[in-house]
């Protein structure tokens, strides 16, 4: 379903629309890979079982203080 992005704040950054590439359960966490509209691939972990189907659309955002970014190898 179409939607609107969450409200922008300095603390939470800018939400990015992305779709699920794959998701899998790894013990106590779910590992979810997303692809943004810009073609970037992001990986997130979520506590518990959360397994959205590939192609499911989300708006992604996180507090800047909780975000880890690594250079591409």
Beta strand 57-60 with 41-47 is unpaired
Q: Quick: pLDDT tens for 11-59.
A: 767 788 999 999 999 999 999 999 999 999 999 999 999 999 999 999 8
User: Which pLDDT does position 2 carry in this prediction?
Assistant: 64
Return the residue matching tokens 């966490």.
29
C-alpha–C-alpha distance, residues 64 and 18, integer Å:
18
CB atoms near residue 32 (< 10 Å): 22
Provide φ and ψ at 66, rounded to 5°.
-100, 0
Range 2-9 average pLDDT:
66
Q: What is the dihedral of CA 49, 50, 54, 57, to 10 degrees?
A: 180
User: Which pLDDT does position 60 carry in this prediction?
Assistant: 86
pLDDT higher than 90, residue 70: no
């Amino acid at each position: 379903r179409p939607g609107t992005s969450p409200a922008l704040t300095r603390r939470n950054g800018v939400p990015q629309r992305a779709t699920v590439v794959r998701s899998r359960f790894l013990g106590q966490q779910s590992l979810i890979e997303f692809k943004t509209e810009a073609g970037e691939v992001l990986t997130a972990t979520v506590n518990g079982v959360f397994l959205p189907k590939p192609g499911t659309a989300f708006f992604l955002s996180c507090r800047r203080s909780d975000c880890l970014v690594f250079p591409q190898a």
